Amino acid sequence: MPFMIGRAPIRRTLKYLNAGKLILKDEIQIFSINYNTHGVHHKGAMDFVFWNLSQIQYKNPNVQIITFKNMTPTPFIKCYYENGNTMLIDVDSKSKEEILSHLQKVIGKSLKVQQKEREAEEKKDNPANFGVGCPRSCMCVIPGQVPCPSIVPLPYHMRGKYNKQKALEEK
């Protein structure tokens, strides 16, 4: 498999990309990270880019993610919002875990919001769902299903009341 070549090829697997924890807020349009490839205080930012940036890109397809290498004396992350505001986050001398946890607190969606979105997506995508708030109001709308008893009466052999009555008569 050609995608398993290079440094740490695990980063390109779907399981690894889905394991990303940082889902950015909807208002963020651009996420930029500035760091140098040398220096002790840039080590955490380099590791963060190497291990976590691909997960952030995968989990946030509508966000433009930019990296600037060797252009700044100190590492930082800058987020650009829809309304024109920006947020500057200092990541100087922080480890990749510290950076990730800080970003989750500051610019990440809360777990409750993520869970609600996931449930709404599952509810919307499942063709077996019907009723109030779903695309289909009744099961009889789906082709191949028994029509509503209010429109077309059920045959006698499909009625529980008829079958019980018939069983009592036979005894």
pLDDT of residue 163 exceeding 80: no
Q: What is the average pLDDT score of the chain? A: 88
pLDDT in tens, 136-159: 788 887 888 878 877 888 887 777
Q: Where are the alpha helices (DSSP H) in 19-159?
A: 43-59, 96-106, 111-125
pTM of the predicted protein model? 0.68
Q: What pLDDT was estimated at residue 48?
A: 97
Of residues 118 and 32, more confidently modeled? 32
Architecture of the structural domain at 2-110? 3-Layer(aba) Sandwich (3.40)
Q: What tokens appear for 23 in the block?
A: 């889902």
DSSP 153: P
Task: Report angle CA 7, 11, 14 to the nearest 5 degrees.
Answer: 145
Task: Report angle CA 6, 7, 8 to the nearest 5 degrees.
Answer: 115
Every domain of the chain and the residues it spans: 2-110, 127-170
Q: What pLDDT was estimated at residue 1?
A: 53
Of residues 10 and 125, more confidently modeled? 10
